[in-house]
Amino acid sequence: MSRKLIIGNWKMHGRLARNAELIDALRAGLAACEAEVGVAVPTAYLSQASHALAGSTIALSAQDASRFADDGAYTGETSANMLADLGVSYVLLGHSERRQYFQEDNAVLREKIEAVLKAGLKPVLCIGETLAEREAGEHLLVTEGQLEVLKALELGDECIVAYEPVWAIGTGKVASIEQVAQMHAHLKQKLLPIVGCSVNIRVLYGGSVKSDNASAILATPNVDGALVGGASLDAESFKKICQAAG
């Protein structure tokens, strides 16, 4: 069994001084952590974080990448190759906030995943249903549809999906252990024929993961790690969550 993977998604938060402080505290506190740990930093601060993390065990993640793989006239875009150049290892793709505010759908995400893989980086595909979809009993079908983007891809040795129910993101409303267990088992079952048995599948949970609920969530069958939003901005909370995964 592979180690748990915990990624802190800073979203659009941070300033030079605060980032430096946070990374220093994480470097010091997580040196002996058994889990794999990453931080998904805003694009503007990837270079700073890359230098600050040099020589540490904490991996650098981006929060998005351009769908255009090659350099060109794409004002405002950041390519996966540029992310690789900065020392990024993981790239979050399809986060519900990107789906909601930037209309990202399976077609765009497919291009982004391909660009990220071509650059030698690991995509972390974020999926999850809205409250209305869950209340209508459509959550399994919706997430299954979101996995379609992974069909017939050369994923390398690993496929990482983060299940983040939209209604649990930033709301303090965490999915119940039964809901998490059911969804993760479902996703693993659906992913196997899509990616094949030679690929290691990891399904992370995200949505109001905090230091006081992390142990129970991470002990749930088929939960291979966590994608942490708000609590990853506080060094003590994030360290506790990472330690709960060890």
Ligand X SMILES: O=C(CO)COP(=O)(O)O
What is the contact surface with ligand X in residues (CB under 6 A)?
Answer: 9, 95, 164, 169-170, 206-209, 227-231
Nearest-approach distance from CB 170 to ligand X, in angstroms? 4
Torsion angle of alpha carbons 142, 2, 63, 189, nearest 10°?
A: -10
Given 36, 95, 139, 184, which residue is catalytic? Answer: 95
Residue numbers belonging to the annotated binding site for substrate: 9-11, 170, 208, 229-230
Residue among 225 and 230 whose Cβ is closer to ligand X: 230
Nearest-approach distance from CB 96 to ligand X, in angstroms? 7
Residue among 137 and 172 whose Cβ is closer to ligand X: 172
Give the Cβ contact number of residue 28 at 10 Å. 11
- CA gap 65, 61 in Å, rounded: 11
Structure-block tokens of residue 134: 């869950």
**Active-site annotation holds for 95:** yes
Given 97, 104, 129, 164, which residue is catalytic? Answer: 164
228 Cβ contact partners less than 8 Å away, ≥ 6 residues apart: 6, 7, 8, 9, 206, 209, 238, 241
Nearest-approach distance from CB 4 to ligand X, in angstroms? 16
Nearest-approach distance from CB 220 to ligand X, in angstroms? 16
- DSSP state, 121? P
**Active-site annotation holds for 158:** no
| List of long-range contacts for 25-31, beta carbons under 8 Å, 24+ apart | 25/235, 25/236, 25/239, 26/58, 26/235, 26/238, 26/239, 27/52, 27/53, 27/56, 27/58, 29/235, 29/239, 30/57, 30/58, 30/239, 30/242, 31/56, 31/57
Report, as residue numbers or ranges, the catalytic residues. Answer: 95, 164
